Structures are given as C-alpha cells and as structure tokens.
Structure 1
Amino acid sequence: MGETSTCSLRLPKSLKAAVEKLAREEGISMNQFVATAVAEKLAAMNTAAYFAERKGRADLEAFRRILRRKGGVPPREGDERP
C-alpha cells in the first residue's frame, strides 16, 4: 500500500458495527476494509469526472453525421431497430 498516515475517524456505532462484521467475514482488518471502501469511492468519482470531461469535448454534430451516413451492412436478423 505504500506510505501510510494515521487518520482518526468517527463513525456512528451502528455503522462501525456493520463495518467490523463485514471485515471479520471477509477476513480483513477494519482498517483495510475502510481503506478499500475509500479507494473504491475515489475511483468512482474520478471515473465520473473523466466521463464528464470527455462529454464536454464531444462533437455531437460529427457523431450525428456518422450515424446518418449511408453504407455498411444491414443489421443481422434480430438486431433491427423497432
């Protein structure tokens, strides 16, 4: 995990008990459970930010031109649009 630092964390008793139970069931420490949960949340937020940034750079008119162009092969049986 690399270099670590200490962070005091206050949790409601019910949440702490749920984390302890799940960590115990997974065979990991509560610290590892919380660190993994924080890492997963950061990954989700970074992914959302990435797609929002990509959306901002999109050329929707070019996309529509591609969708309207002629050519290609017709859809296979069962892939037709309703």
Structure 2
Amino acid sequence: MTTLSLRLPDSYHAMVKEITAKEEISINQFIISAVAEKISALETQNYLEERAERGSRNKFMAVLSKVPDTKPADYDR
C-alpha cells in the first residue's frame, strides 16, 4: 500500500469530514472509494470507446433489418 500526501481545499476537507462522520467511515475509506469510483468511470468510458471502434454500422443495419415490422402489443405501447 502507498502513502499519499494530499492537499485539499479547506471547504472540501470540511465536507469530507461531515460526510464521513454521518456515514461512520474514515476519511481514508471515503477517498479510496472516490478514487475507485472515478477509475471505474474512466475504464468504462475507455471500454465503450474501444468497443465502438470495433462496431460496424453495416452489420448493425443488417441485423436490424431482420426485425419484423409489426405493431407492439397493447401492453407494450
């Protein structure tokens, strides 16, 4: 595990202290969770961009053309 020295604006620190007190977690746990959440969001974005590059509009349209052109059932309108 790595130790990290962090400079945080006083207003953010006050808000983090308030939230962690209410949630009964440590500031360390809060920051780890926030970093993990941000990493997850960025990795998801990267994955979706890579996946989109592999996509083919022509293949998509070919599959879509196989869907029957019917009206939806009453319960699905």
Fold match by TM threshold 0.5: yes
After superposition, residues 40-55 of structure 1 pair within 5 angstroms as: 40-55=37-52
Q: CA deviation at 1:79?
A: 3.9
Alignment of 1:3-82 (within 5 A): 4-69=1-66, 71=68, 74-77=71-74, 79=76
Q: SS at the partner of 1:9?
A: coil
Q: Which runs of 5+ in 2 are unaligned?
A: none
Runs of 4+ in 1 over 4 A off after TM superposition: 70-74
The TM-score with structure 2 as length reference comes to 0.88
Provide the aligned length of Structure 1 versus Structure 2.
77
Q: Which runs of 5+ in 1 are unaligned?
A: none
Normalising by the residue count of structure 1, what TM-score does the alignment of the two structures yield?
0.83
Identity %, equivalent residues: 39
